[in-house]
Structure 1
Amino acid sequence: MTNSDFSGPVRQDSDRFGRPVTFLNGRFDIKLATGDTGGGLFIIDTLRAACGGPPLHYHHEQDEWFLVQQGRFRFRIGDGLHELGPGDSIFGPRRVPHAFINLTAPARLLIAFQPAGQMEAFFAKSLLDPRSEEFRALSREHGMEVVGPPLSI
């Protein structure tokens, strides 16, 4: 552990710093911060109150791993479409376009980014409409490229 102020467990439905972010269609709780691992890993828990998801995008330097905890999700990783339920996980390698949509609400998804890169900073600033040019620019500033629309049900 590299963060000397790490204070123990992060409880369910809690954010590591007590500052959850509302973004897209849900609440994002940091479970493991970038600083906790010296930039090696960033983990967020997302509780989704309505159906939806991010636009098709890829990360230049981060791999992304998803674990469905509640509900049903559809993922696009590259050209493949996959439907996942509780306990299922899927890997999104860096530089491979991916998107997901929760098909049920509420739904919960745990997401890990490795290395952490600038993802924590992105979520702290990402209150923009994901269809806007400002969102695309913010994504580029944080190591991502938006390459298509969100998935639809």
Structure 2
Amino acid sequence: MLIIEGAGRWTAPAGAANDWVEQLRTPDLSVGTYCIPAGGLDDQSPHTEDEIYVVTAGRARIVTPDGGAEVGPGSVIFVPAGEEHRFVEVTEDLALLVVFGPAYGSRAPGRRTE
């Protein structure tokens, strides 16, 4: 067992528009926190892994090619690998607990798998 301290807790990005911190990594999954300040820009690209977001603080709108939805504390969002997605209209500092399966970046082209 491992308690992942600070996972999903708001932390102001250090000199960047947003901040991703990976707090646990195994071959099968990774867990981290993604924070976007109110009014901030989400500049992420689609990922090569499936992803689950759990909103722990803040409010925003998530948009994908299929539409959009308002999200706030307690919202759980599944984004399949390769799907364009972005958080927009961040009206309150947004903190997201993020789970990737398999681990973040592990399916990226050119990356060796063990």
TM-score (norm 2): 0.70
Partners of 2:14 and 2:108 lie apart in 1 by: 21
Alignment of 1:84 onto 2:71: yes
Is 2:22 the counterpart of 1:30? yes
Provide the residue aligned with 1:48 in structure 2. 36
Q: Which has the higher contact order (CA 8 A, sep 6+)?
A: 2
Match of 2:58 among 61, 65, 71: 71
The alpha carbon displacement at 1:22 in A equals: 4.2
- Number of residue-to-residue matches in the alignment: 106
Q: Would you say the 8 A contact 1:25–1:50 is kept in 2? A: no
**Which position in structure 2 is the counterpart of 1:10?**
4
TM-score (norm 1): 0.55
* Other-structure match for 1:138: none
Amino acid at match of 1:115: P
**Offset at residue 98 of structure 1 (A):** 1.3
The CA distance in 2 between the partners of 1:23 and 1:91, in whole Å, is 28
Instruction: Output aligned runs, 1:54-65, within 5 Å.
Output: 54-55=42-43, 57-59=45-47, 61-65=48-52
CA shift, 1:101, in A, is 2.8
Alpha carbons of 1:48 and 1:117: their partners in 2 closer, same or farther (altered >3 Å)?
closer
Corresponding position of 1:97: 84
Report the alpha carbon displacement of residue 88 of structure 1 after superposing the two structures with TM. Answer: 0.6
Q: Distance in 2 between matches of 1:102 and 1:108?
A: 14
Runs of 4+ in 1 over 6 A off after TM superposition: none
SS at match of 1:55: coil
Q: Which has the larger radius of gyration?
A: 1
Shift of 1:114: 1.1
Unaligned residue ranges in structure 1 (runs of 5+): 2-7, 15-20, 120-141, 145-153
User: Unpaired segments of 5 or more residues in structure 2?
Assistant: 110-114
What is the Cα deviation at residue 110 of structure 1? 1.1
Asked if structure 2 preserves the Cα contact closer than 8 Å seen for 1:49 and 1:106, the reply is: yes
Higher strand share: 2
User: How well do the aligned residues superpose, as a CA RMSD in angstroms?
Assistant: 3.2
Alpha carbons of 1:117 and 1:13: their partners in 2 closer, same or farther (altered >3 Å)?
closer
Asked if the contact 1:70/1:106 (under 8 Å) is kept, the reply is: yes
Higher helix share: 1
Identity across matched positions, percent: 29
